[in-house]
Amino acid sequence: MRLALIIAAMVPAVLALPAAGRPLERELPPKRDACWERVYDEAHLGAHPGQKVARIRLVHLPSRWADAQAHGFYVTLYINLRQHKAATGFDYQLGGFCKPSGEGLRCEPEWEAGTWRIERGPNGTLRVRNNGITANPNPYDAEEIADNAVRIPAKPDDGIWQLAPASGRCELE
C-alpha cells in the first residue's frame, strides 16, 4: 500500500519533467542560427608553438540547411592557420553532420576528412575536440578532399578549441 502511494505521488512529478532533447540545444538551437568563434592571441600562440589554428568559427545555420536534418544537423568550421592567406574571411573550411553522442555531439563530413566533437565548456563556452581533421580551402564546394587541403592533427596543440559566442553577423564566409 505504501509503495502504491509513493508511486502515485511520483508520477505527476516525473510527467512534469521536460522531455530530453539533443545535447547542446541551447547553444546550437534547432531553429535559430548560431555562431561560435575564437581568435587566439599572440600570447596563447606563443605558449602553444605547435598549434596551427589561429582563428576558428563554428557556424550553425538551420535556416539555410533545413534539408540536412535527416542526417543529423549540419555545422561548418571555418579556420585560419597562423599563416593567414586571405585578406578577409577564412582560408579553410570543413562542414559535417552532427549527431548526439553522450552529453555532446559527434560531427563528421560525408567524406573521409576526420571527425570532431562539440561539448559544453566552462563559463558559457563550447569546446570543439579535434580528432584529426582535414580542411579544404575556402570556398570549396565539392564533397571530397581538395588537392591543397590542410591536415590539422590534434597533437601537439590543436586537440581542443574553446569557442565563445561570435560577435557580429552569423553567416557563411
Counting as low any pLDDT under 50, the low residues of the chain are 1-19
> What integer pLDDT is reported at residue 11 of this predicted model?
39
Write b or e for each residue in 80-100: b if 16 or more Cβ atoms lie within 10 A of its Cβ, otherwise e: bbeeeeeeeebbbbbbbbbee
Annotated domain spans of the chain = 26-165
pLDDT tens track for 44-82: 999 999 999 999 999 999 888 766 556 678 999 999 999
Place of cell 546550437: 28
Q: What are phi and psi of 81, to 5 degrees?
A: -90, 180
Cell (9 digits) for 89: 574571411
